[in-house]
Structure 1
Amino acid sequence: MSDLIDWIELHKVTVGLLQAVVLLLLAWVAGLFSYLRKLTAKPRLHVVETASFVFIEDLADHDGKPNSMRASFIINASLINASKEKVVLEQFLLSYRTHNIIRSYRQRLVRIAFPVRPRKRLGNGIKYMGVWFTEFGEDDYKLEAAHGNLDAKEMCAGYLLFASFTWRGWNPRIAGNTVSVRLRAKLTSGECIKFCTRLRVVTDPAFVEEFCPGLVEHVAHESTWNHDLSTLEV
């Protein structure tokens, strides 16, 4: 120990430089971790694939349009505000992969309302599900709508419904019984958050009706189709 002390006394300049280098290195590492925390502490979007699906209806030659198809996208989405500031959701936008090679994801579908609150049967009971921006007057209980006004470190989740009617190359491309989709959450700040996933394809109307009674008839009405903002830059 005495030899070490003697060496330090004889090399004060070198020791001082080493101390400065170590301090600079520690400051750099601390700054790097701080930067990484800020980079990851942003609003995030998430889709629960196991709770989401797309209901595909083959309409053959509907209204003179060959190979027509109606697609209803039912998505369980969560918005997580990991930042330290409040965020406000403006709207959701959905696009999906089509058979066309050029501009395959050109759609910007906006959500439409569910006819009634979605539900899930659990044993002998029924669990009613939350929905974005929608309250249902027939509810016998209070279930707050997912609103999209999130304070720091808050999250909000609920179901979304999008419907499209297409034909030929603009039909959703089905691969492995799934459809590739891109969900975007546009914030009032102008920021747009994206989540890409694949939704399983459902073709059984009975399954859809059990999940949301009246939905099949609801999306059969032309007024629910193709609420599209594809002309907007997102």
Structure 2
Amino acid sequence: MMQSNGIRRFNNGSHYKALELGICSSKIQTPNFLLACLKLRTIVLLNQLSYFYQMQRPSPHLRLLEYLEAYIQLHGYSPVIDEMMEAMEKPRGAIQNSLRYLEREGYIERRYGKARAIRILKSNRGGIPIWGTIAAGYLSEVFTDSQDVLPISSPKLKSGDFALQVAGDSMIGDHIPDGSFVIMRPVSDLAALKDGEIVAAWVEGRGTTLKHFYREGKHISLIASNSNYPPITVDAEECRVEVQGVLLWVLREWSDL
């Protein structure tokens, strides 16, 4: 609620609206009175437009999220705090507050102790983030930070789900061709994984790949569905293996969206 020329006014213009209904419904029809009614109606309209604009305008936190998405899409990595401060014209404390909010609400993930280490988990534009490309072949470098958004919506999706674009044909036996998108869900409990599930797995010192996951004692095997690619078997006590996501479904073409 605000004060204006001694008149109490609500942000949505409801007080002016009441004045308009009470005064402009009068039977007085002098030119000066009609002009006053026109001005009052203009004030009502401007206040309502301002109110609805404020209601639709993204919060400062979500505006920072939009900036992060655009920056990562352009550069392939996240900005540092000073760049965020300059772009948003906000002090360090306000940026840190927005980052804490975005992290708490599941929009971003921050890897502490590293520069340019923000990952988008949930887009404000709708859809899920594409975290980059993953090898469906031999082991390759870990997939990159989110650079784009896959415009899909489903009640099956949860916060944190992400997409990867497949590079290679080692999973062609599961109808996962080169260039397709795989929708993945982060794995919080490795023990809950079932043998045979398709995962995005990172092998220490060797890279990341999309394969079937099998575990036998201390050994972990990552197996392709294309016989041209030999199994990858490691001793989990000697070589660290992280499962970064388990397959939900495959999008083979944009027309599948």
TM-score above 0.5? no
Higher relative strand content? 1
Higher relative helix content? 2
* TM-score, normalising length: structure 1: 0.26
Larger relative contact order, structure 1 or 2 (CA cutoff 8 Å, min sep 6): 1
* TM-score, normalising length: structure 2: 0.24
Structure number with greater Rg is 2
